[in-house]
Structure 1
Amino acid sequence: MNGKQNVLDAWISIEQFSEGDIDLKEGGNVKYKQLPTSCENWTTFFANKLNEFKEHRKLPEKKVKNLGFTIFFDVFKFDNLINELSDKFRLPEEYRDDNNLKKFTYCLSFITTGDSFKLVDKSIFYTISGYAHRNGEFPVEISNEEDDLNKRMAELFEYDFEKGMFELIEQEARLSTQNYYEIQEDVTKRAPFLHSFYIDDLNLAKGNESDNINRYLFGFSGKGTNLDSNKESKLFNAKDITETLEPKNYPLGRFPSNPEWGLSLMQQVAVNVAINDKNNIIGVNGPPGTGKTTLLKDIFAELVVRQAYEICELNDKHLNETATYYMSGKIAQMPNHIMDKNILVASSNNGAVQNIVNELPQKEQIDNQFLNSILDTDYFANNGNWGMFAIEGGKSENRKKMIETVKQMAKVLKSADFVSNEDVYHNFTKQYKLVNAMRQDAQKIADIQKKLLPLEDKLNEKTKKFQRELSEKISELNEKKARREELMQEIDDVIELIETKLHSLDVDKANIMEQLELSKLNLEAVKQQKPILFWLLKIINHKSTYTYLEQLSSASNLLTELLINYKNIEESYNNEFRELEKMRNLKGKCDEEMESFNTKFRTWKDKSREKLTELKYRISLLKEEINTSNFKPLDLTQPYSNLQLDNPWFDESYRVEQTNLFIAAIAVRKQFLYENVKSLNGSWIIWNKIQDYATPEKKYLITWAWSWINFAIPVISTTFASFGGMFRHMGIGSIANLFIDEAGQATPQSAVGAVIRSKRIMAVGDPSQITPVVPLSNGIIGLIASRYTASENIVNGYSSVQTLVDKASQFGYRKTEEEWIGMPLWVHRRCLDPMFSISNEISYGGQMVLPPNMTNPGKGSWIDIKGKSDNKFVREQGEFLKSKISSILEDKKEEQPSIYIISPFKNVVIQLQKTLSTIGFKKSNVGTVHTFQGKEADIVYLVLGASTDEIGAARWAISEPNLMNVAATRAKKKFYIIGDKQLYKSFNSEVVEKTLVALDKSQQTSAK
């Protein structure tokens, strides 16, 4: 088996194991009676029991035509079975269980027929736990075992009740003596309530491929888009938030609520993603009071507007009726681009869907400035409602009302009094163009901002680069100046030395010149002294010749020597002079280089500043264009709380025109229904006789008819329990848009039928509040998951529709490294402090924001009352509460505040209901957290109960933040915890610690 099959099989087993509960103490030990192991005459036995029942109930004969009884065979303790199976399959210790549940193995019902009894058709119910109890293993297919049992019982009771009973009891008594019977006023109404509502749809999913189911089970396979809007976060995602909030992504339609208030930032993000994203599965995580219903209203309004647009684009508003459903009755197929915007709301919580569909059509939901306009449109308005915008579907009774409503709508449209108004198409188109133009104008500014942002980044980058380079260049310039000064000094020193040398050489030259002149004169003087007849005297070697020659040679040598010296000095002088010129040239070159560097630096600086100035000017022009517009762009730089409260781009004027467009769309819808009243009329006829069309060749008519019904009534609801019954004849992808409310409360398997039949799914809820009510313990569920090798990340006791949809959603929020949730809503508008702070700190990481108009503190405290507990109930706590509420009711006689009493434990609830009934306090205002999910009151008391004798129960109550979170967020103004403070503090629970911090802070604030 593949992963999908494993999970679905495990879920089927969970549903089947959930069946067959029997509480033998129900009805004060009167409802179920133990069946004897033998009897002389079973017919007489049961006849007497039925007569006693009739007499006790004082039932008239006309009321007892379906009187009968049901026998429950082999009742056993469920935990024994689980432990036996754990041993057999060698499962871990945590799968073992310890509870007081009892199950029956199988049951069958009999109805009175004359003087005997007859087996009721389809009344036999064989539980999977009963099969495992008797056989020590899971059945391959319980339905096959049940079919075999049906055949055996049918044969056994075909002719003779007495004989059949004798054989059956004899056989069963050998297996178990724990057999019971129940007398029922109408035994025919019992059977449907025993079987799970979801198994057929789980089998449907097993036998069909569906991308939505695969994604629902195994999550989004791509990279998630983390919509972290906190600029202080490392995962802050400005890019995707900015793109999502571009004006072109905003809806054109809006529900007619007060236009002064726009959606908060993340509400708008969720709406924009919902109406534009191509993903088929989207999750929204909304803590209490964050406006989940509000954003759904705006999504619904946009889908209605888009349908009206598609209608106005049709050349012929009357659609050809191409399919015959009965004799001359025909129906048209609604175009896909209109049909695929229909809306279905589902939840496991009947109260949740009732709240939505009952609230949407109420006049009180319409802002006064739009009320007359929408009433003039008259979308089948009735007392208290502005129009037939939403209705409950689901269970059979509701479906009948829905069909009757469509019937009456068709009747109105067919009546002679109805006035057709084709101008509505023109009026809508005109208003559509107006709103679209406003949106386009805003987008132009957004496009300018898109140009502006990179330019600002560029300016910032270039400014930083300029400053950096300027600093570098100034440093370089200073370094060059320093090096130049150093070099110039060196050159000057060399020049000074050379000039000194030259001066010395000049002196030497002058001295030698003087000596040369004297030497020349001396030489001439010697020559003048040359003897007469020197040649003759030389021949005769006269002494005078020798003297003359010596004097001449000496004078010549001296002159030669002086000439050589002079030449050397001249050469040295020239060398030094050349070196001097070289130094002077080098000095000039240094000056030129320095000036060149200065010039280049000034040129670079001027050009860089010119470019920055030009860029600043371009930015200023864009900013001026933005600032002179009527639009307020997104500013992600503002403080976190301001950002979360912000709704960029559009103001009240746009919201007014959006609303007017929605009202115009409603008028188009009504006129379009008039143009196609034959199809509308056919739709209710088909659904009224739906079984007649449940054949393979006619099933498509059911889907065609549904598209008209869901178009006529834009929003229809159902519970998941009723989903299979309502849509059993509609196939995969036959539902356009499924919106799941309070998805955190729904078991994941309950939505499979809805998911596989829907094209697009959006789930809103909060896993941090109440988790699904699962009738089986975690141990049993773990055993089943292990048996089918199904992923325990999916098959467990804490997963919900919300957690699976969140994982399947591309857009979401990385809450922790391990936890990915759907798109978060952060602005809380229900509770004052300390309730807000308790919830925010224990469940939402401090990310929620409280609007400025709610900053006035409420009240809260921990009332420390100890006492001995009896099944978690502490009498002293009950008496204190009785006294406290009595005082409140006495003080506030004229305007009594709403008060809820919440406890984690059922027995505490029961005992408090009894205690408070003596002062006239409503029983319905006392309950567990499940009782008040989605509700609110002025004052809430959380009665923890338990004592040191029941430490396990006390620890469980505060082990997870969910219970405290729900209890605190039911209270709008005041929240009080009653319990043994020392006991609960001893657990070192983060939930308790953070709660006490918030309560203490609140009391300090109140004391100031």
Structure 2
Amino acid sequence: MESDDSQTAMFAFTLDSEGYLVEDSAALSACAWAISRLQDPGPEAPGWLERFRSEEESFITALNRLVPPKPDRLGSAGNGRAATAGNTVLGQVKGAAIDAVSTGAKAAGDAVEVTTRAALTTVAGPIIGGIAGAAAGTFVEKLLTPPPSKSESKPEAAATARDQQKPEQPSSGPPRMTPQLVHAFVTRLGQAFGVTELLKIDGVRVKCVQIHKRAADEASEQNFLNSFITDDLLRIEDAVRGGDVGAGIDSYLADKVSSPVGNRVDVRAFPGEVVARVAPNRIPGGRWPTSIDRPLVTSQQFAVNEIMGEFGSASGVFAVNGPPGTGKTTMLRDVLAAIVVDRAQRIVDLRLAHPTDAFTETTDRVAVRPKYTATVRWLRPELTGSEIVVATAGNKAAANITAEIPGIGAVRGAEEAACDADYFTELASNVLGADAWGLIAAKLGKRSNRTAFVKHFWWGDPAGRDNEPDREQPEPIKGMREILDDAAAQPLTADIWAEAVRRFKEVRAEVDRLTVERQQAAEAIARITQRCAELTGLRAAADAARAETARLTADLSAAQARLADAEEGVNRATIECDEHAKRQPNFWVCLSTVFRAGREWHKKADKLGRALDNAKGVAHRLRSAIGRHKAAVDRVSTVQRRHEVALDDATREIAALESQLAQARAQWPERLPYRPDFATEDEFQLCAPWADAVYTDARNRLFLEALRLHKTFILGAEPRLRDNLDVAMAVLREGLRLPAATLRTAWQSFFLVVPVVSTTFASLPRLFRGLGREAFGWLFIDEADQATPQQALGGIWRARRSVIVGDPQQLEPIVSLPLSAQHALRRNNQVNEHWTPENTSAQRIADRSARFGTSLPEPDGNDRVWVGAPLRVHRRCDRLMFGISNDIAYGGDLMIYGTPDNGNYPGRNAWIDVRGSSNDNWVPEEGKALSYLMEELKRDGVAPEEIRVISPFRDAVRGAEEVARHRLGWSFAKGNVGTVHTVQGQESNVIILVLGSAPRKIRAREWAAETPNLLNVAVSRAKRRLYVIGNRTLWQHQRYFDTLAARLPVRAWPADGLADEALPTG
């Protein structure tokens, strides 16, 4: 595995431009503190890991004495982070931490160098031991103590040169921090605690960043040393213990490996379940406004329908499996549209005489500015629950979503209609910093994002956005505050509101009418599918009834024949008896024979009588049997006739349904999800169910009309909404603390205007601080495969409904805590292994309880894993890259190829087989091949922005950056070269995969091939061309890379048009 050469820090703080400490910017590393406690007093001492809260608080408090006073702070009580610093990490680290630290300390090794990122000048160094606060206090006290007079300082003449270099200080107040003072602090602390050699302290790291003075207080958010979510996990732990959880968190935290198998529906094994759930009456009325030629395919529409259907009025977690290029964002946008339309419908259903009637009389008074107190009015509960939060593990993913949703490219094919809806379009463009079509989403999260949003959203841009260079003076852009001022100047009339409602209801009625028409065809499909399935059974039943009738009829005939014989026997016996009776001897004959003749006659008479009785008995029994046979024949004949009637009815009904479907096919060609119409499963999956042009256009218009209704509502509600938004801006801008109900109302009011906000998991606890269980309606987790299970907890707890979208076959979470420490913590707390962050993700946890989904092969090939509802149609890569990805990660049959034909593209896919030596994972010979491949692409007319260069290894990336800098410039090198981890969720026309790894680094190659995930992500970023540079002989026998080697044509180096020349030098 690639060695971890990253750095860490023991503590950090931030200085302003004049060298003064920024208040509350100090941070003490919990890991460093624990390692020092491991040395003294050691794990055998009782409570040896139970004082970090107070330690960090005293550390921050001591260093805050170096903060210069501000005029507006004089005389005010301190309320900085020191007052609540103990909330940063667990106050008591349970016994499990003993093993965690013991096993993790070795894994930490020498990684104790300092590196931090902060708002201004950041310095860091180790501060450890159980008396960190006291040590910091001693340091501060010395700095704040006035220096002795010259006569008193003579004994100190032997002081070090560094201490003699006193910085120039003002006449009073705390000193400026200089490099000399900081180095002295680091060195002396290390020596005082006896850990200089143990921890290999390596001095100070400084990073300078220029920011606005108003943002200086944001330094307190720059703590990279400890987890951002620890406080939130503690709060959720308390909530779980107290039963303060909703269905979502309850399902997510369920202590089970998987849902009962009997409750699962494999959507690939039971396509009928899919068809039934994409029926028109399950499709949301509104859809995201894009080209009517690019509707959702079957698996996407299924996911949207189930999300909205299952969560209509309920709560819980829904898992979606999104392989690369299958349209996760497209699917989520349709869910967003459905939620907005649903809220618009609820607004209409309230039958408000005026938008102000949507607010209750419950109020709270909030001082948002020194001279202004806002009145917060509660919303009617019918209008809450539609708040949408998008959360991701990384800043880039979160920013991409909220940049894409309002961007003009998100409504491609419907730009004119979307912009005509004018959902605060100009303001949206100002917020986005680019052309937007509507104010749909806000990038929040960290404080700098929140501050920027408030500035552009609330206050607008007096200077305007100059999109027309020829115009001398761009028009100022009004912020929401001024837009509401204008609305107050021209209050909304009841007639205008009634017209907005009428327009929405009119389009809604049209969509409902079209839905009913298509639902009739859908019911015909359901019915014909059912009847065709019944037909075989009906035919078999009718055939069986006919056979039984024939059998019983034959038995009856045989019985009747036997009866005839029996009756003939009776007749014969009767005649014999009669004839014998005539021959009865008289008295004299009997007497003459001494009565012998009489005895013989009677003997024969008895015999003939018995024969007659037997014959009559046989005949009687046969008559009874015939009666039974006749009854059976009648009964079976009735059944036969019933089956034949049912068969005839089914045949006639199927014919009628076929006729109905023929009309539907003619009216909505290729839009009927009727499986027999498709020759293959692939063709069926490519179907866009019920998405004909008329219906799709109506659904587009319904969403846009819902936005118009929202805008009219917002402007009309200005008398009551404005103060609520003013408070929401104060919460975003300043972190204003409010009572829970007031805070929730402020957020609900904000979401009425901006339906979606994005944040990272790290920022979510601070962004929604004060909000509790199920405080907002919806949580979308994107790229959940990159989030640890623990990261997602805060969002799921605060949301009624969580849609978790990701793919366990792509990149997994990056966890800094050594695996040995993770397992130690898990074992000592008796936690199931599936919660180990290194081995699982939020996506895998959500998949366990998914009802709808499918199973995929595990990387070891010995088992299968259940995943959530899969998106199956891939529309990104050309077929070669699609095939590699599908085969190595999805068993070869999950994804369906649906990439449109985009014409020819320069170059050809290739594995450039480079043999070279190296001491690390950067192979200079591969750099030569990279250089000339770039030159070749440039000659072929491929623009630099269409190229991404990636590698599994960081040192290979550094080498590739240098090559790229020479060939295509600094901007390309910094923006388009990176590790494979940097490109998940992105795509490029050309991907160049530089494999690297020296011949002797076998373990590095084995690490890259442990699972299909890394290669799957690398290959599936390439839309048109994939180039692999590396030693094919070394890589082709690694698992998954063998498929890559088998599929890619080989280009030898330096042949095949690639010249072996020296790299250009700077």
Return the TM-score normalized by structure 1: 0.73
Distance in 2 (alpha carbons) for counterparts of 1:576 and 1:73: 118
**Deviation at 1:843?**
1.1
Bigger RCO of structures 1 and 2 (CA < 8 A, at least 6 apart): 1
Q: Radius of gyration: which is bigger?
A: 1
Alignment of 1:566-577 (within 5 A): none
Q: 1:764 aligns to what SS in structure 2?
A: strand
- The one-letter code of the counterpart of 1:394 is G
Distance in 1 (alpha carbons) for counterparts of 2:949 and 2:130: 48
Q: 1:398 aligns to what SS in structure 2?
A: helix
Distance in 1 (alpha carbons) for counterparts of 2:1025 and 2:965: 22
Note if 1:317 corresponds to 2:359: no
**Deviation at 1:590?**
10
Which of 331, 345, 350 is residue 395 of structure 2 equivalent to?
Answer: 350
Q: Which residue matches 1:216?
A: 252
Q: Which residue matches 2:437?
A: 386
Which of 979, 982, 985 is residue 1033 of structure 2 equivalent to?
Answer: 982
**Deviation at 1:795?**
2.5
**Per-residue displacement from partner, 1:349-388 (whole Å, max 9, x unpaired)?**
2222222222222233324456146425453434722222
Note if 1:249 corresponds to 2:282: yes
**Deviation at 1:804?**
2.3
Q: Which residue matches 1:963?
A: 1014
- The one-letter code of the counterpart of 2:897 is L
Note if 1:673 corresponds to 2:691: no
Distance in 2 (alpha carbons) for counterparts of 1:226 and 1:23: 49
Distance in 1 (alpha carbons) for counterparts of 2:1029 and 2:34: 34
Which of 864, 873, 876 is residue 922 of structure 2 equivalent to?
Answer: 873
Q: 1:866 aligns to what SS in structure 2?
A: coil
Q: Which residue matches 1:94?
A: none
Which of 628, 635, 649 is residue 674 of structure 2 equivalent to?
Answer: 635
Q: Which residue matches 1:914?
A: 962
Which of 406, 410, 414 is residue 458 of structure 2 equivalent to?
Answer: 406
**Deviation at 1:427?**
0.6
Contact preservation (8 Å) 1:833, 1:857: no
Q: Which residue matches 2:376?
A: 331
Distance in 1 (alpha carbons) for counterparts of 2:366 and 2:68: 40
Distance in 2 (alpha carbons) for counterparts of 1:714 and 1:880: 49
**Per-residue displacement from partner, 1:415-440 (whole Å, max 9, x unpaired)?**
27879542212111121122123324
Q: 2:774 aligns to what SS in structure 1?
A: coil
Contact preservation (8 Å) 1:868, 1:949: no
Alignment of 1:115-264 (within 5 A): 159=145, 172-174=190-192, 175-177=194-196, 178-179=200-201, 180-182=203-205, 192-195=222-225, 196-209=227-240, 210-211=245-246, 212-218=248-254, 223=260, 225-230=263-268, 233=269, 236=270, 238-239=272-273, 241-264=274-297
Which of 966, 986, 991 is residue 940 of structure 1 equivalent to?
Answer: 991
- Which stretch shifts more, 381-390 or 396-405? 381-390
Summarize the Cα distance change of 1:66–1:271 in structure 2 as closer, same or farther, 3 Å threshold. same
**Per-residue displacement from partner, 1:150-189 (whole Å, max 9, x unpaired)?**
6666566553698999999666415033442345658988
Contact preservation (8 Å) 1:829, 1:850: yes
Which of 716, 721, 726 is residue 757 of structure 2 equivalent to?
Answer: 716
Alignment of 1:854-869 (within 5 A): 860-869=909-918
- The one-letter code of the counterpart of 1:427 is R
Q: Which residue matches 1:838?
A: 884
Q: Which residue matches 2:123?
A: none
- The one-letter code of the counterpart of 1:21 is T
Distance in 2 (alpha carbons) for counterparts of 1:727 and 1:588: 91
Q: 2:253 aligns to what SS in structure 1?
A: helix
Summarize the Cα distance change of 1:81–1:242 in structure 2 as closer, same or farther, 3 Å threshold. farther
Q: 2:500 aligns to what SS in structure 1?
A: helix
**Per-residue displacement from partner, 1:451-485 (whole Å, max 9, x unpaired)?**
66555544443322222333344456567778988
Contact preservation (8 Å) 2:847, 2:867: yes
Summarize the Cα distance change of 1:260–1:418 in structure 2 as closer, same or farther, 3 Å threshold. farther
Note if 1:765 corresponds to 2:784: no
Q: Which residue matches 1:645?
A: 686
- The one-letter code of the counterpart of 2:957 is V
Summarize the Cα distance change of 1:667–1:171 in structure 2 as closer, same or farther, 3 Å threshold. closer
Q: Which residue matches 2:795?
A: 754
Distance in 1 (alpha carbons) for counterparts of 2:931 and 2:1028: 14
- Which stretch shifts more, 880-889 or 448-457? 448-457
Which of 847, 866, 871 is residue 825 of structure 1 equivalent to?
Answer: 871
Contact preservation (8 Å) 1:484, 1:590: no
Q: 1:892 aligns to what SS in structure 2?
A: coil
Distance in 2 (alpha carbons) for counterparts of 1:787 and 1:19: 29
- The one-letter code of the counterpart of 1:428 is F
Summarize the Cα distance change of 1:673–1:779 in structure 2 as closer, same or farther, 3 Å threshold. same
Q: Percent same amino acid at aligned positions?
A: 23
- The one-letter code of the counterpart of 1:176 is V
Distance in 2 (alpha carbons) for counterparts of 1:997 and 1:692: 56
**Deviation at 1:613?**
1.9
**Deviation at 1:145?**
7.0
Q: 1:769 aligns to what SS in structure 2?
A: coil
Summarize the Cα distance change of 1:498–1:878 in structure 2 as closer, same or farther, 3 Å threshold. farther
Q: Which residue matches 2:936?
A: 887
**Per-residue displacement from partner, 1:720-774 (whole Å, max 9, x unpaired)?**
2222332224333323212111111123333333223222221212121111122
Contact preservation (8 Å) 2:987, 2:1022: yes
Q: Which residue matches 1:533?
A: none
Name the structure with the higher helix share: 1
- The one-letter code of the counterpart of 2:759 is T
Q: Which residue matches 1:654?
A: 695
Q: 1:760 aligns to what SS in structure 2?
A: strand
Distance in 2 (alpha carbons) for counterparts of 1:900 and 1:607: 70
**Deviation at 1:832?**
1.6
- The one-letter code of the counterpart of 2:272 is A
Q: Which residue matches 2:898?
A: 851
Summarize the Cα distance change of 1:313–1:862 in structure 2 as closer, same or farther, 3 Å threshold. same
Note if 1:612 corresponds to 2:631: no
**Deviation at 1:662?**
0.9
Contact preservation (8 Å) 2:541, 2:643: no
Distance in 1 (alpha carbons) for counterparts of 2:933 and 2:717: 62
Distance in 1 (alpha carbons) for counterparts of 2:956 and 2:548: 76
Q: Which residue matches 1:308?
A: 344
Note if 1:284 corresponds to 2:320: yes
Contact preservation (8 Å) 1:304, 1:341: yes
Which runs of no fewer than 5 residues in structure 2 stay unpaired?
45-58, 70-79, 106-127, 148-162, 165-180, 211-215, 460-478, 858-862, 1053-1066
**Deviation at 1:713?**
1.6
**Deviation at 1:592?**
10
Q: Which residue matches 2:334?
A: 298
Alignment of 1:528-547 (within 5 A): none
**Deviation at 1:208?**
2.3
Distance in 2 (alpha carbons) for counterparts of 1:810 and 1:678: 46
Distance in 2 (alpha carbons) for counterparts of 1:75 and 1:765: 31
- Which stretch shifts more, 220-229 or 977-986? 220-229
What is the root-mean-square deviation of aligned Cα atoms in Å?
A: 5.4
Q: 1:260 aligns to what SS in structure 2?
A: coil
Q: 1:747 aligns to what SS in structure 2?
A: coil
Contact preservation (8 Å) 1:245, 1:268: yes
- The one-letter code of the counterpart of 2:994 is V
Q: Which residue matches 1:995?
A: 1044
Summarize the Cα distance change of 1:573–1:994 in structure 2 as closer, same or farther, 3 Å threshold. same
Contact preservation (8 Å) 2:885, 2:1019: yes
Distance in 2 (alpha carbons) for counterparts of 1:570 and 1:480: 35
Summarize the Cα distance change of 1:359–1:73 in structure 2 as closer, same or farther, 3 Å threshold. closer
**Deviation at 1:292?**
0.5
Q: Which residue matches 1:703?
A: 744
- The one-letter code of the counterpart of 1:850 is Y
Return the TM-score normalized by structure 2: 0.70
Summarize the Cα distance change of 1:585–1:940 in structure 2 as closer, same or farther, 3 Å threshold. same
